[in-house]
Amino acid sequence: MIVAATRKLQIAALCCGVFPKHIEEQRGQFENMFAAWIDAAVAARNAKRPTYDQVSAEVTGYDVVEKGQYPPSLDDVDVLVVSGSPASCYEDEPWIKKLATYLRDVYENKPAVKIFGGCFGHQLLFQTLMADHGGRVVKNPKGWEIGVHQVDLTPEFSSHFPESLRDGKLSYQFLHQDVASIGGPLPPGWVQLGKSDLCDVQGLFLPGRVLTFQGHPEFDKVSNGLCTKLLEGYGMIPGSRVDEFLELVDREDSRTLAGEVAIEFFLSKP
């Protein structure tokens, strides 16, 4: 007799920004968006698996910017998620320096804890872990990447997820103007995720340890539409391009499939 069992992933979301009230009322804060994305991916993944191979996930948020919150212990944490942010990772901000130091310490001393970064989280991890290899984060000379864009995955990355990534492509929401710039070869074991038309470094992968996406797979059409309009209101993107960006936001995506890839990474052995 096979007994049904569910493995529960404990995920700590290090939230690097706070959404204004009108966005929070519709989609919550970063931890809520990540929880919704992960829950949808878990449901899709579980539907393809037998009853004895089921997964659930619990996301706990920590405000690392305004409250300086971090998990009190990582003993029961399976995954650290580093969110997006209105800040740039190269800014001289104490909270960014503290977070970078924390992530380096987890990477070097907590091998059982997976690390996932999205957008700012991707960039900060890249800047922190690749600095000794010529990596840096800069403003994108191609400008903003906003809305749903296709990422053409490298064969090396796709080969680690053969069931999910047969066609070598993913698409999800984007909202960024900073990009990672690789100054030389990646360290042994590291794999580049892929590229899009507007960004050559769409993420990094170290099997069993680190996965980053330049995009915002946790965003849906509503959340990214609201964020895009917010940037317009702040004068950060030209009003003449807002309609173009919102049309891109409204395109179909494969964010749930990207979530299934993330879940597979979360469950992988260190």
By residue range, what is the domain housing residue 33? Answer: 6-267
79: CATH: 3.40.50.880
1 falls within a domain: no
Instruction: For residue range 251-267, list pLDDT tens digits in order.
Output: 999 999 999 999 999 99
Tokens of 74: 């990582």
87 falls within a domain: yes
- pLDDT-derived band at 1 (thresholds 50, 70, 90) equals very low
Instruction: For residue range 180-213, list pLDDT tens digits in order.
Output: 998 889 999 999 999 999 999 999 999 999 999 9
Tokens of 210: 């680190």
74 falls within a domain: yes
CA distance 178 to 180: 7
Q: How confident is the prediction for the chain on average, in pLDDT? A: 97
The predicted model gives 41-46 an average pLDDT of 98
What total number of domains does the chain contain? Answer: 1
CA distance 170 to 151: 5
Q: What is the pLDDT of residue 4?
A: 58
Instruction: For residue range 80-115, list pLDDT tens digits in order.
Output: 999 999 999 999 999 999 999 999 999 999 999 999
Instruction: For residue range 48-79, list pLDDT tens digits in order.
Output: 999 999 999 999 999 999 999 999 999 999 99
